Structures are given as C-alpha cells and as structure tokens.
Amino acid sequence: MTLLAFPLIFCCYSTLESPTATDVRSPCPGLNTLANHGYLPRSGKNLSIPMMLQAALDGFNVGSDSIIQAAKFGLLSGDAPTTLDLDALRLHNLIEHDASISRQDFALGDNLHFNETIFSTLANANPGVDYYNATSAAQVQHDRLAISLATNPNITNTPKEFLLRTRESALYLSIMGNPVTGGGAEGVRHYLASISMLTGDFNNRFVQIFFREERMPIEEGWRRSNITITAETMNDMEGIIIDNSDWTPTQLCEDLVLGPTLTI
C-alpha cells in the first residue's frame, strides 16, 4: 500500500527544470517557481492573466481573488495588450517595491534576483523554533523597512507598498505552512504524520527552499495546500502582520481604486 502510494503522490507535481539562458524570471518567487515547475511556460514569456491564475491554483491552490490585482497591474509592465514577460515585472513602483524580503531596493542595486544578504533577515527570523508565523513575518517586514529607510534615500513607502508587502508575507506563510493560521508546525506536522512522512523540519525549511531555489520542496515533504488560499483565508494573518509591524508611511499616495469593492 505504502509502496504504491508514493509514486501516486509524486506524479501529480510538474517536473522541476532550471531556467535556460533565454528563459526569463521575475522579482516574484511565486511566479518563478510556477515557471520552473512548468505550471507556467518555462520561457517566462507571453503570460496571460488566465494562465497565471490557473498556474497559481494548480501549483499552490492560491485562488484568483488574492492575486488578480497584481496580475492586472502586471500587464502595464510591457506593451503587449494581454500578456507580460516575467522579467518586465522588475519595473520599479508598478508592483515591484522597496524593502523586499529577498531582493535589493531598486536605487541600491538589483531588484530582480534573489540576494542572500537581503534574505538573511527572514532566514534568521523566529529564532529558537522551526517555523515562521505572522508575528515573525511582521518583524521581518519591520526590520527590512528599517534597513531601507536607513540606507535608501530614494525609498518609496506608501500604503500601496505596505499592502503588497503584507499580502506577499501572507502568501509565503500560506503556501509553505498552515494556510489557516500562517503558523508552521501544526498543519504541516499533521499532514506529514498522516502520510507517514514526518521529517522533523517544518515551514522555515520550506520557505527557505522556495525563496533560495524557487522550487516546491516536494522531496522534503511539502504538499500543496488542501484548501484554496484566498484573501479571506489570509485575512487573520494579515491582521496580525499589520498590528505587529509598527508601520508608518514615508509618503502618502492618492486613494488607489483597485476594483468596485476595493480602494486603499
């Protein structure tokens, strides 16, 4: 039974391949991972909104409602009317923002590729336990912003950036940990125990592989969430992040109308 079950579990994830020299990638570890596994075209080029929404659902069980605004904004990164190329998403202050958790600020260096020095704030977060959660994500957002405020005279830090950063934190907590609590140990531990794959390392390891290698940590025991991750499921953890990140704007922006029921 067990022997038969393993191939069945592994068969359902698309194959991981490294990008080739002509493939393009983005400042988004989520989209890059989906392209590296073939949920998106491995070229990273000519991606439509329906392709990105379907890939997020198939790869991570992330529902459209939580990423559709980013996807629509993303079309403004290039001239094509209905598609985008992943590398164009580096366009500063469209979606790409300062105080990222794995990339440098635009004015200071490379805002596109993963940077281990920048990532060390998150890598070392929540010391003493083997998971990240909404409290540690808030601390990471606070500390990364403090570094940017101290070193980047060109920083952009308005409610728009804060909203994006908070949603991105909730996304990594949800896809790599427990999508209900944003905590690490509980959901993953129960799930691994239920399929006899208790490995002893939990979402911090998964989160690190996701950012550093832009892949799904399938061999390490990670599985796609069994519930669809939505704005609703991320609401509580985003509230904890907002309450604990001690955030103040550097500049204000005009109200951004993002849809018939969403203005920030």
Ligand X SMILES: *[C@@H]1O[C@H](CO)[C@@H](O)[C@H](O)[C@H]1NC(C)=O
Cα–Cα dist 259/53, whole Å: 17
To ligand HEM, the closest distance from the beta carbon of 114 in angstroms equals: 8
Which positions lie near ligand X, rule CB under 6 A? 45-46, 80, 104, 107-110, 115, 117-118, 126, 129, 133-136, 154, 183, 187, 190-191, 194, 226-227, 240
Within 13 Å and on the Cβ side, how many CA atoms surround 153? Answer: 0
Residues 34-93 that bind ligand HEM (CB under 6 A): 52, 56, 60, 62, 67, 70-71, 74, 89
Site mask for ligand HEM (CB under 6 A), range 96-115, x = bound: xx--xxxx------------
* Residue 28 or 188 with smaller CB distance to ligand HEM: 28
- The residue among 95 and 188 lying less far from Mg ion, judged by its C-beta, is 95
Minimal distance, residue 189 CB to ligand X, in Å: 9
- Does the protein bind ligand HEM through residue 122 (CB under 6 A)? no
The whole-angstrom separation of Cα 62 and Cα 56 is 5
102 binds, among ligand HEM, Mg ion, ligand X, none (CB under 5 to 8 A by kind): ligand HEM
Q: Which residues bind ligand HEM (CB under 6 A)?
A: 26-31, 52, 56, 60, 62, 67, 70-71, 74, 89, 95-97, 100-103, 168, 171-172, 175
